[in-house]
Structure 1
Amino acid sequence: MSRFIILVITLLLANFSYGDSGDNDSKAEQEITELDKPLYSPFIERYMLDEVKQLRLDLSAQKVDYTKQIVDREHHSVDRAVAYATDTVTYFFYLVAGATSILVLVGWNSIHEAKTQVQSLADEKISALIKEYEDRLSVIEQQLQQKSKNIDDNREEIELTQNIQSLWLRAAQDIGPSNKIAVYDQILKLREDNCEALTYKADAVLDLGEPQWAINLCQQVLEINPDNDHALYQLGCAYTALEQYDEAIRYLTQAAALVESYREEMAVDPALKPLADFAPFQRLIDHTPEAQV
């Protein structure tokens, strides 16, 4: 979420400068990389989520307005086309009537036949034209329905994200592992494939002294994302608690291969203290060739 907030701030800053957008982007990226502490707080995150939601709603309203204008223009075009077709048929009928007026001497049947043919031809042309525009309007209606569905989906996703963010803030305020686990379970009910909630739940479970439970949670994460470094690190801690040191070193090595800073964290992590005198663990911290798996 912090990366998302920083990205939104960067885009907003870039939109205020139209003259030299390339330089602004590079300056924004440089300032972000040089940050030594977060620029956000939970309240700013909530503010940014509300702003993004409002932008989405404004964009949706603008799309609906544009679509309405297009439909009105289509209706206007249909009216003009029908009027043009009617006028054309009328003038054509007058021409034919004038040309066939000489048939009066022949009899009323010939005039009636000419009138019937002209009327039939006019009906066919008008019917074809109406069908063509009905098909166009049907396509526009389908597009409007799809856009409405997308708007509803986006609104539901924003509300779900806000609920999950509120739960994360609540978990950060709770101290007891049991309370944290309850909050993580609520997050998983909203989004069951949330790897971050599963790994943090595994961390809380380890604090309760349940390493096997933590292993099961981390294995669920690896089924979703095999390269999840946090889950690999938690597996190393869980196997350490079970005194299965070889397995612990294997997962810790994989985690360190993905995130180099884990080596420093391993040296001071109380959960890995039983590995302090284990030679492979020392080689892993020192990053010697023997530590590679």
Structure 2
Amino acid sequence: MPIKVILFAFFSIISSLSLASEETTEVNTAESVSAVEHVQKIEAAVQSALAKKEAEADTSIFAEKALVERYVLDELKVLRHDLQDLERSLTVQITDRELDVADKSLSYAEQTVNFFFYVIAGVASLVALFGWKSLHEIRVNTTKKANAEIKMIAQSYEEKFKNLEKDLRRKTLRIADNHIEIEKINEIHNLWLRAQKGQTPEQKMAAYDAILKIRPGDLEALTSKADAAMELKEFHWALSICNRVLDMDDTNQDAFYQRACAYACLGVEDQAISDLEKAIEGRSALRELAAEEDDFENLQGNEAFDALLTSSES
């Protein structure tokens, strides 16, 4: 009975190996690996069965079992070598298939690259044959347009720079004029201070002449010069200066007041009262100044003059 079991297991192993060897030529890598694992499981089952039978064997047939076991072990050894050869064969087949697939992939990639290269070369040839003139025209037109745009931009900026230069020049001249005007103002201010500090009419007259030399037509300087002429008893000169001021400004109250003083000193009372009235209409503060003015001494007792001075009090 044990011998039959062993032989059945052996033939089962052999049939399984033959079946596995036939199927491995057609299956892929995953099926081959599973067949090897199945054979190893069978080998393990046989070994466990042998171990179990050895434990149950009778000592009386030990010699016979030893021979059978020796035979089975030899067969198992042969089977193990066959399994190793089968594994090497499967590894070689798998490697060959992988190399074949890689070779086919490389060949396909090479063909694809060559195809695209030929397509690109053909298109480039067509462009070179038929489109060279068009490309040349495009390049020329693009260059012309770019040059025109650059020229237009350059002209625009050149015009802006010219306007900016003119503006800067105008502002520079204005600054220079303002600087000169400031210097004149400072000098005139110093001359006014000198005129105020002048002790004699001649000194004041010299200061006013200097102011008029710097700024001709200065009405304030002219009226002050007329006042200095009145101090010098130059009534006609003062009258001439006042007329000059009134020719430029016919509403100048100081000129009317100074001319009224000149007319009063010259004895022209009606004209003096008329000018004084015009001066007081423009500036009422001159009424109090006229009441204390020495130049109007000749007008004392004149009803029109007295009425002009007392009209504010009533």
Q: TM-score range by the shorter chain?
A: 0.5 to 0.7
Give the drift of 1:127.
Answer: 1.2
Structure 1 regions of 5+ residues with no counterpart?
Answer: 1-98, 289-293
Whole-angstrom distance in 1 between the partners of 2:239 and 2:124: 96
Counterpart check, 1:208 vs 2:232: yes
Normalised TM-score (structure 1): 0.61
Match of 2:137 in 1: 113
- Secondary structure (helix, strand or coil) at the match of 2:199 reads coil
Is residue 186 of structure 2 the alignment partner of residue 162 of structure 1? yes
The CA distance in 2 between the partners of 1:271 and 1:253, in whole Å, is: 15
Confirm or deny that 1:131 pairs with 2:155.
Answer: yes
Residue matched to 1:225: 249
| Sequence identity (%) | 36
> Do the aligned partners of residues 265 and 111 (structure 1) sit closer, same or farther apart at CA in structure 2, a change above 3 Å counting?
closer
Calculate the TM-score normalised by the size of structure 2: 0.57
* TM-aligned CA distance change 1:246 to 1:100, over 3 Å: farther
Q: Indicate the residue corresponding to 1:172 in structure 2.
A: 196
Matching residue of 1:262: 286
Amino acid at match of 1:252: L
Change (3 A) 1:112 1:274: same
- Indicate conservation of the 8 Å contact 1:222/1:228, yes or no: yes
Cα separation, partners in 2 of 1:209 and 1:117, compared to 1, 3 Å: same
Task: Find the structure with the greater CA-based Rg.
Answer: 2
Asked if structure 2 preserves the Cα contact closer than 8 Å seen for 1:199 and 1:218, the reply is yes
What 5-or-longer segments of structure 2 have no aligned partner? 1-122
Determine the C-alpha separation between the residues in 2 that align with 1:266 and 1:224: 24
- The corresponding residue for 2:275 is 251
- Report the 3-state secondary structure (helix = DSSP H, G, I; strand = E; otherwise coil) of the residue aligned with 1:164: helix
In 2: Cα distance, 1:282 partner to 1:135 partner: 72
CA distance in 1 between counterparts of 2:148 and 2:212 reads: 62
Aligned residues: 190
Residues 245 and 114 of structure 1: is their aligned pair in 2 closer, same or farther, counting only changes over 3 Å? Answer: same
Q: In the alignment, is the contact (CA less than 8 A) between 1:104 and 1:111 conserved in 2?
A: no
SS, match of residue 233 in structure 2: coil
Distance change >3 Å, CA 112–CA 269, structure 1 → 2: same
* Pair 255,100 (structure 1): closer, same or farther in 2 beyond 3 Å: farther
Q: Distance in 1 between matches of 2:131 and 2:199?
A: 105
2:217 partner letter? D
Q: What does the per-residue CA deviation read over 1:26-54, in whole Å, with 9 as the maximum and x for residues that have no partner? A: xxxxxxxxxxxxxxxxxxxxxxxxxxxxx
Q: For the structure 1 residues 257 and 102, does the alpha-carbon distance in structure 2 shift closer, same or farther, using more than 3 Å as the test?
A: farther
Q: Which structure is richer in relative contact order (CA contacts within 8 A, separation 6 or more)?
A: 1
CA RMSD of aligned residues (A): 2.0
- SS of match in other structure, 1:193: coil
Partner SS, residue 128 of structure 1: helix
Structure 2 residue matching 1:175: 3-state secondary structure: coil
Cα distance per residue 1:210-243 (max 9 Å; x no partner): 1111011011111222111111000110001110
